[in-house]
Amino acid sequence: MTDERHGMVKLSTGMEGFDTIGFGGLPKGRSTLLSGTAGSAKTVFAMQFLVKGAALGEPGVFVTFEETPADLRRNMLSLGWDCAGLEAEHRLAFVDASPRADEERIEAGTFDFAALVARIEACVRRTGAKRVVLDSIGAMFAQFKDPAAVRRELYRIIAALKQLDVTAIVTSERTEDYGAISRHGMEEFVADNVVLLRNTLEEEKRRRTIEILKFRGTDHQKGEFPFVVSDEGVVVIPLSSIQLRQKSTTLRIASGSDELDAMCGGGFFRDSIILVSGATGTGKTLMVTAFMAGGIAKGERCLAFCFEESRQQFFRNAAGWGFDFEQLERDGQLKVVTDYPEIMPLENHLIRMKRIIEEFKPNRVAIDSLSALERNSTTRSFREFVISLTAFVKDQEMAGLFTSTTPTLLGGTSVTEAHISSICDSIILLRYVEVYGEMRRALTVLKMRGSAHDKEIREFNIDGSGMHLGKAFRNVTGILAGHPMQLAVAPEELERLHEMFPRE
């Protein structure tokens, strides 16, 4: 990818998400300083850059100043990266500049790093490397006494890399996540391009972010983007970019209830996100079940993520409403994924859910519930999760139905809704209504982007055959506010109320 104005070429790193925020990747033929605190995944990021390069036919050289190649090979195996295998195929090579424990080193006069430069050059020529990593230069300051000499010599190495026409990542330690760019003032030497990795503690949760501070002469996305270290390495979650590509359609799909379809003006839109909000027991899981069943009846593939119930519970409930989800899953038309939200950070859930969606390629996806996932995250992480997931779902031309549990039984909104209501295309509220000493359920379509819809608050009933929408509550006000009040009504209206669901 070329930036026309500056003639700066980017090298696609092959790393998911990073190329997006880097507008194509890293500046080609240049060195980029990758700085972060201890444990911010610098080495993993750097190694992934080489492993991805090897897969793209671009050999890489890893110059290690800290860990031994043996340690690196072993550590990277846990991410599924077979360094030894790549080395055997001449797609990866190590230059070992790590300190040797059994060797004493004494300084006696002026020195330079010409030997290291010669070794790196020889290794790059031998392998035809296009990518080089220096990890981490801070360790060199521990190995030699004179910091000014080390700084001068590191600069010599970086200048040599430029001559070799390789794209390099130079890692460096920082002492704080928000402070000086790097220890030892290395940014003065590798100042052209700086990427920061952060690993901060927020509301008792770890949050990893990546920020491209600068790419000289070429553009990139600004600000911090969350990333995770999953079993496939670093995955950057680009937030703003994915929203730009969203398509929109007027294609309608069945909600699973004919009455609800009618209320929505003919069904949900295909590339839309529907939020179903309600207190516990108001029928959110039933809405999910109906949504899945409605898709299956039309021959669509359906995927449900359940974070509140076990598979058995979900299947049993469905069976109670007459749907054999177990058989449908065996047939491959349905997939139900159940997990405790707490098993991994929210960012990892996001990556995993995207993977499952990509593999299963559903037409519909449901999440029950977002509130359960919210328990396990910070406010900011959760908002980013919802933005990223909704954009992803829409981009895949799927319909998404997400549920959200309100904390109070009557009325009220949840924090969840505050974050996602503007992102969702449609909002359906399920509420309890107290009428003459009886708890009834109410449903209303609060919002339906791009379509006319029924604005009534309708009675909603659950029985052995599923959900049924009744007539509107005419004589009750304050349902949504959580303070239902019966209005003084004429006797004939009372009659009507009793007739709404005639008991047979």
Partner 1 sequence: MADRYELELFVVGHSAKAERAESNLRRLCEARLAGRYELRVTDVLEDAEAAEAANIIATPALMRRAPLPVRVVVGDLSQHDALVRGLGLEEEEKDGDEGGQR
Q: Which residues bind partner 1 (CB under 8 A)?
A: 95-98, 100, 102-119, 122-123, 143-144, 153
When the beta carbons of 139 and 292 are compared against partner 1, the nearer one is 139
Cβ neighbours of residue 75 closer than 8 Å, sequence gap 6 or more? 43, 67
When the beta carbons of 97 and 476 are compared against partner 1, the nearer one is 97
Beta bridge partners of 193: 215
Contact 213, 181 (CB under 8 A): yes
When the beta carbons of 121 and 219 are compared against partner 1, the nearer one is 121
**Least Å distance between CB 128 and partner 1?**
16
d(CA 306, CA 368): 5
d(CA 286, CA 271): 22
When the beta carbons of 117 and 236 are compared against partner 1, the nearer one is 117
**Least Å distance between CB 346 and partner 1?**
43
**Least Å distance between CB 149 and partner 1?**
9
Total Cβ atoms within 10 A of residue 317: 16
Instruction: Report which secondary-structure segment, H or E, holds 487.
Output: none
**Least Å distance between CB 119 and partner 1?**
5
At CA 383, angle to CA 233 and CA 295, rounded to 5?
85
When the beta carbons of 72 and 196 are compared against partner 1, the nearer one is 72
When the beta carbons of 168 and 393 are compared against partner 1, the nearer one is 168
Long-range Cβ contacts of 443-446 (<8 Å, 24+ apart): 443/260, 443/469, 444/479, 444/480, 445/263, 445/264
Total Cβ atoms within 10 A of residue 281: 14
**Least Å distance between CB 332 and partner 1?**
54
**Least Å distance between CB 118 and partner 1?**
5
When the beta carbons of 108 and 487 are compared against partner 1, the nearer one is 108
When the beta carbons of 110 and 163 are compared against partner 1, the nearer one is 110
d(CA 318, CA 171): 53
d(CA 198, CA 223): 12
**Least Å distance between CB 95 and partner 1?**
7
Cα-Cα end-to-end distance for the chain: 70
Contact 424, 387 (CB under 8 A): no
Contact 403, 370 (CB under 8 A): yes
Tokens read off for 288: 């999910």
**Least Å distance between CB 96 and partner 1?**
6
Question: DSSP code of 197?
Answer: E
